[in-house]
Amino acid sequence: AMHAAEEGNRETGARRRAEDGDNFFVHSTPGTPPMRLDKMVSQAFGLTRSVAREKILRGLVRLDGKRVSKPSSQVDTETRNKLELINPDTGDRDRTTWKTHDHVLFNKPRGCITAQWSNKHQTVVEFLQKTPYFKPRLRPVGRLDLDTTGLLLFTTDGELLHRLTHPDWHVSKRYHVETMHPVTENMIASLRQGVELKDPRSGRLRLAAASDLQRISDTRVEMTIQQGMYRQIRRMFSTQGTEVVELKRVSMGPIELPDDLQLGHATPLNDDLIAATYASVSLV
């Protein structure tokens, strides 16, 4: 009798939790793994996992109309999961239906900036809107300045974006650099060893170094960095008494800029590259 009572209490408690939305589990389709709620919210709204977790705990997330407040809840990935994110200041709700991520590779031309909009310059988003791969939730992974060309990844996965751009993950970014003056062996040695640059945000000096630097010609080099400081490569060469006249990013992590991708055009990442990119920052 006591065993039956315990079973009844557990059943009642589980039903209450389900009604409250505090422990909202959706059983996955057989053979298809479920997904943690905080990961799904992160992917759906382009947030980092920590921000998604915080919003869930604050009760600002609705799943299929029900409040959910347990970040570790397992959600079926085969169903159309309707998500709402509530703005605590205005009460407005951002609504979406969860699906897998979008990842788009863009070949950035000169003269446009990495921004959503601008009164002065054309933006990368305006270019992307002209392609069949544009989605409103796509966000650029890092920035390329006005005159820099080449590889710019867009993703809807906030956690992937965070890791690819955070210095702790040491993601390599490779560039082709053309300088105004010949690059000497002393310059190469100095840039490999590292030079001090002022961080515009903190005002502190930080060491900026090339993790790899190979000569292509007298005034052209291939340079790899694992940091992402403001105008880092241009400022590094400035410390050597020369100016960068052309800068092109050709790879980031396992992603290489395709030779046949024209400036201003985009292409979705294939499954192998998506898997390799996630694995490069331990998101597997």
**Token duo for residue 159:** 């956690």
Catalytic residue among 64, 76, 145, 147: 145
Report the C-alpha gap between 149 and 166 in whole angstroms.
Answer: 21
- 259 classed as catalytic: no
The kind and range of the H/E element at 127 are helix 124-129
Q: List the beta strands (DSSP E) in the chain.
A: 35-36, 61-63, 66-67, 74-75, 82-86, 93-97, 103-108, 112-113, 122-123, 139-140, 148-155, 173-179, 195-198, 205-208, 212-217, 220-225, 244-252, 255-256, 266-268
Cα end-to-end distance, the chain, whole Å: 46
Active site positions, annotated: 145
